[in-house]
Structure 1
Amino acid sequence: MINGERRTAAPIRWAMVGGGRGSQIGYIHRSAALRDRTFDLVAGAFDLDPERGRNFGVELGLESRRCYSDYAAMFAAEALLPDGIQAVSIATPNNTHYPIAKAALAHGLHVVCEKPLCFTLAEAEELERLSIARRKIVGVTYGYAGHQLIEQARAMVAAGELGEIRIVNLQFAHGFHSDAVEETNPATRWRVTPAFAGPSYVLGDVGTHPLYISEVILPHLKVKRLLCARQSFVRSRAPLEDNAVTLMEYDNGAFGTVWSSAVNAGSMHGQKVRIVGSRASIEWWDERPNQLSFEVQGEPARIIERGMPYLHPAALADDRIGAGHPEGLFEAWANLYARFAIAMEATDQGDADRLAGLRYPDIRAGVEGVRWVEACVRSADRGGVWVDYA
């Protein structure tokens, strides 16, 4: 990766729904997708206001005729073009993810979708069935999982360096919404409105991020049951929570916790993943993503640095610049988009060997995220009781 060689035979012809002018997440999608020349942005439906969306698309360098008023018009028109789109990214509010993704798959397009994938487990499983039937991939943008040291942590666990896994301590607890900022910020307002956000706020918005990272690091662990308590400390947000604590029991006897919060006053981001084994522990903090803490019982604590030759080959494959230079969010997202492109090309070519071992947040990751949120809400709404996960 460090030399930037092309990883696909040709760029994937790509479009976006949403992510227009002023959208921070839209810019992240485009920066990540275009960085390695694995995608070529050729069309878009960027805004609810067609003229504003068209103007924005032209400013990005697109042809005016391929800047559409809505996703349905785009999918229909692009299907008739010899160089029509092959994939689409969905960067819109949560309530639109399911219908857009379903329509895209029905038109034979690969999909990259913001999380949560949709509102309900039934919807998520329907998208999974459609993805399989149409032989198209669905990627979910758990962007932090693209950081290099997540692969290192996975390799260390697989090699038994931590011993038997006992405790999984996860959190994503920032403080930027400790007041009712949605009163003046539309980007936050829809996130705390059930009609747009779905059955939860912070569980789906931030909690699923460290949950997915833990699934990458610990693929052999499965949640058996969980208990969740959630609160609306800014009361106008009820019934959606702005703070939640989830307890989880795993099938190997390990115990997990997830603290999901937008009211951790003073915290910038607060996403940490700590895995505790019988012999050693590792900890990763997304505000210092270039370091992984490795603590062996009875020995001095060590800091594993990104980019160093002692890393596992799977971690070094995600390297984009030499050791000592800090990598960040754009590099992590670019790693995921590169994997999405490889998966799309290999799927279209029926190349099972190339797909084997390729890890990215796929439709199953999206389904599991929705399953987890749904179980958390069910537990919390019953008064914080244990519920079976499967």
Structure 2
Amino acid sequence: MSQAVYLDYAATTPVDPRVVAAMVRHLDAEGTFANPASRSHMYGWLAEEAVETARRQVAEVLNADAREIVWTSGATEANNLAIKGVIEQRGGGHIITSETEHKAVLDPCGWLERQGLASVTWLKPAVDGRIDPADVSAALREDTVLVSIMHANNETGVINDIAAIGALCREHGVLFHTDAAQSVGKLPLDVRELPVDLVSLCAHKNYGPKGIGALYVRRHPDVRVASQIHGGGHERNMRSGTLATHQIVGMGEALALAAGQRDDEQARIAGLRDRLWGALSGLPDVQLNGAAAPRLAGHLNVGFAGVDGEMLLTAMSEVAVSTGSACTSASLEPSYVLKAMGVADALAHSSVRFSVGRFTTEADIDRAAQNVTDAVTRLRAALKNRA
């Protein structure tokens, strides 16, 4: 049996062979394997040089200063460091976020609220999934210290106007954090042009390794975060721990590759996504969630009325997709993102996220479209016969 078509790039991506080649050089005794913090010998110096080269690569993607990049284990840790770090540094305060954020933002905010360390305003999105900057403005208070709104949603791909939201924050002296795990390397993200203070990143959504990410922290006296991991004062006292040289090198290489081919690659991916939607939209009673909003090139969140999403996943034996965020896919509850957008529970249960990527081909799209069409038609016929 042939391998299933992988259309779950929003959950994670395969590591690009060029990234693998770069990482391998930093693993064994013949490579640059040493601890980057070992500054008493050449082995450590070479490892540190590799880490700093990767730090510059990540900074260049953001048009940032390399000193503004703090290594983390991924975007989840970066979100926790940004949110908890700001609240601890400020001694508490008010946070504004949205109901459609990734759990890596929702859960830290909820934890701070339950501990009595912060109060949180949870904004609802518009029906297209976007957060209205006017709602952010209306929620601002005298004690607001942080706004955290994601750049692009992981389930729908819907892109928020972080320039407008950031401008509001800057005007009111409030720090602005954005989770850019899905968008970095796919959308322009220039921190010298955009009024952002903290940006969470990861490698594995961009054909890099899992287990590595970064937090951009703007170099300004007002932008400070308290360390959440202690034990050596690494990363300018913001994140302790021995740096994983090979993973860091992988992230730097992955983001450099993504930035270098961004426009052409995203145009090709958007074409494949539209090809898939063109085939699926011919089915009766289908809905494109977030259709009215600008979206990432690879995302396609489709509701198939009358078909249970989990049953559809099982029936689509030739396609690997998900019914929502990979972090909540084990839940039997309908997607909280779609529910917040006003999608009815039944349709939210019937929605599937397709995400196209670098290694997807037209043949993959055509095969997937046929498999999905067959599965939906077969399930609907079975339900009709039982009725």
Larger radius of gyration: 2
- Shorter-chain TM range is under 0.3
Larger relative strand fraction: 1
Q: Given the two structures, how large is their TM-score scaled by the length of structure 2?
A: 0.27
